[in-house]
Chain A
Amino acid sequence: MSEQADVAKYNSGKLQKQWKVDLIGFAFIAPWLIGFLGFIIGPMIASLYFSFTNYDLLSPPTWIGLDNYINMFTNDSRFWQAIKVTFIFVFGSVPLKLAFALFVAMLFNTKRRGVGLYRTLYYVPSILGGSVAIAVVWKQLFGREGAINDILSLFGIPSVSWVTSPDFALSTLIILVVWQFGSPMLIFLAGLKAIPAELYEAAAVDGASPLHQFIKITIPMLSPVIFFNLVMQTIQGFMAFTQSFLITEGGPMDRTLFYAVYLYEKAFAHFDMGYASALAWILLLICGIFTAFIFRTAKSWVYYESEGGK
């Protein structure tokens, strides 16, 4: 990289001694470095240790080896329920969210008038959707006497208690998350604008149908952006907390017991810090495996125009 060579020439070499540069560099990144060591690496090591202990915050931790992990996998049906719910949530919401985001982005990728206003309109839910206000309201909107049932009854559909029904509670949360497709939409839109129009013109001259153009041009050209959105949304999905905690409180009958909610319950309701730490490490492992999987497969489906364009 020429950039690095530039930095080297300008910062060190004839101009400044390397130790001086080191000192200056570390001074600048000191805030982050302190945070990284003290609030991330340190706590992570501590948490790995706690995961092998029995610890309730009041008495000192006692070493119990792999017991927390063994218990979790063999003796804790709520752990498996949380895994199941979280997977359904992630695999239900992420593809839907990205599909919506791409569809709407393609609608907005035009020079028609009013698109700026539309983009704002469609983005507003994403600005507010994560807030407690919307979570509290969502519960009522989908409540037995809420607006959704009122609208459905116009079409003769009997009212459902969305939030408290074991069959619909998770779907209600998925709808809330999919509704906030604004950020991936904006990223897709920027990606679509970067695709050269000549590609489509050439394809049209060759008689390619719009569907064909979509599969052969849009998807490959957009694949780095799809990749980015996929990684970010998947991780966010595994971390989801507020929706379940506020709207369904994990219920009914643990049908919406998100992993993060279960972890919170173990740590801050039961003060079982050792077990909760073990849960946290399993979550990290799951996220790591998924990210690695997406990265590994990326080579076969993500197309980079130039090697430099990473």
Chain B
Amino acid sequence: MKRQKNLKTLIYHGSIWILGLFMIYPILWTIASSLKPENEIFRNAASLIPSEIRWGNFLKGWEGFGDLSFATFFINSTFVTTMVVIGTLFSSTLVAFGFARVNFRFRMPLFVCMIITLMLPQQVTLIPQYILFHKLGWVNTYLPLIVPAFIGGIPFFIFLMVQFIRGIPRELDEAAYMDGCSTFGIFWRVILPLTMPALATVAIFSFYWTWDDFMTPLVYLNDTKLYTVALGLQMFSDPSSLSAWGPMFAMSVASIIPQLLVFLFFQKYLVEGITAGGVKG
């Protein structure tokens, strides 16, 4: 009986590891290729162990293209991402508090409007927004990437915060109100400190989506000096540039390091955010 149970456990863990190896293989392969000597990447392609470790790929990749190094792209991405995270936190908390706690007229119809925009394909507003930003002279600046975050550009985050604030006991608001706290005071002193875990979730998601975003910078940024990491990486696969495989893999790895670090340290908030949308919603 016990033996059978042990065998079952062994099969369970064994099959999960084997399947897991398939799952993780492309990522390990990327990391391995970034360290391989250039002529080895496509010889023994499947191998995960470089014959010798070549950190030079990273140095060469970091130099970038012409007088543009990857440092520029990383600084650009960091700036855009930071601004978007700040903007998202600002707009999603304020708006969510309004929807969750203030009983103004047209609250429900407007809330429904917001939920509908959750499902709106990005492409539908892409062209008229481009025309609008073009007229405003914002093309080839970071404004089209950053400003939408400050005005609730991603309704998913508002939705997430509304769900969270609804879970905070209303007695807290009422007690504060009786003590003479204004509505903004309730928001600032009572609700906001309690939403910290949800704020972390929102911040992490908006970090991921902005860091990864390809289409928006592709559409709005023309000047290579303004390129984000995502666009910088794409330059490697440009057929007109000499393909340098080692540096390409090295910079691919470099670009995902921030994402991996955030994932490893803040996994808990990510999991909560994903499941909150799907299960409680």
Name A residues whose Cβ lies closer than 8 Å to a Cβ of B: 3-4, 6-8, 10-12, 15, 18, 21-36, 38-40, 42-44, 46-47, 50, 57, 104, 107, 110, 112, 114, 118, 120-125, 127-128, 130-134, 136-141, 143, 145-151, 154, 179, 183-184, 186-187, 189-191, 194, 225, 228-229, 231-232, 235, 238-239, 241-242, 245-246, 260, 263-264, 267-268, 273, 276-277, 280-281, 283-284, 287, 291
Contact = CB atoms under 8 A, between A and B. Distances in A.
Interface residues of B, number: 98
Contacts of A151: 46
Contact of B121 (A39, A124, A184, A287): A287
B150 A127 contact: no
A290 to B, nearest CB: 10
Interface stretch (B49-57, B62-70, B193-201, B233-241): B233-241
9 contacts: A10-B177, A29-B94, A43-B129, A118-B16, A132-B214, A136-B236, A228-B281, A229-B278, A242-B214
A166 B103 CA distance: 57
B255 to A, nearest CB: 5
Contacts of A276: 127
Interface in B221-239: 229-231, 233-234, 236-237
B7 interface: no
A112 B13 CA distance: 9
Interface string B240-269: 000001001101110110011001000100
A150 B130 CA distance: 44
Nearest to A276: B127
Contacts of A190: 275, 278-279
Contacts of A47: 124-125, 127-128
Contacts of B46: 147-148, 150-151, 154
What are the nearest 7 A-B pairs in CB distance? A25-B104, A28-B98, A35-B151, A43-B128, A32-B152, A187-B278, A133-B252
A182 to B, nearest CB: 8
A34 B153 CA distance: 10
B95 interface: yes
Contacts of B206: none
Interface in B106-128: 107, 110, 113-114, 117, 119-128
A24 B102 contact: yes
A267 B253 CA distance: 32
B30, B33, B130: residue with the most chain A Cβ atoms closer than 10 Å: B30
B103 A36 contact: no
Nearest to B184: A24
Nearest to B113: A36
A25 B103 contact: yes
Nearest to B154: A35
B131 interface: yes
A268 B278 contact: no
Given A29-B110, A228-B281, A280 B126 contact: yes
Contacts of A194: 279
Contacts of A140: 33, 41-42, 245, 249
B58 to A, nearest CB: 14
Given A137-B249, A194-B279, A29 B124 contact: no
A150 B40 CA distance: 13
Nearest to A34: B151
Given A28-B102, A137-B252, A150-B46, 10 more contacts: A29-B95, A39-B132, A42-B132, A44-B124, A125-B23, A128-B27, A143-B42, A151-B46, A187-B278, A190-B278
B20 A260 contact: no
Given A128-B260, A291-B119, A31 B30 contact: no
Contacts of B253: 133
A280 B123 contact: yes
B170 A6 contact: yes
A26 B276 CA distance: 26
A136 B254 CA distance: 13
Contact of A40 (B117, B127, B177, B249): B117
Contacts of B129: 39, 43
Nearest to A286: B121
Contacts of A18: 105
B102 A39 contact: no
B142 interface: no
A131 B125 contact: no
Contacts of A189: 275
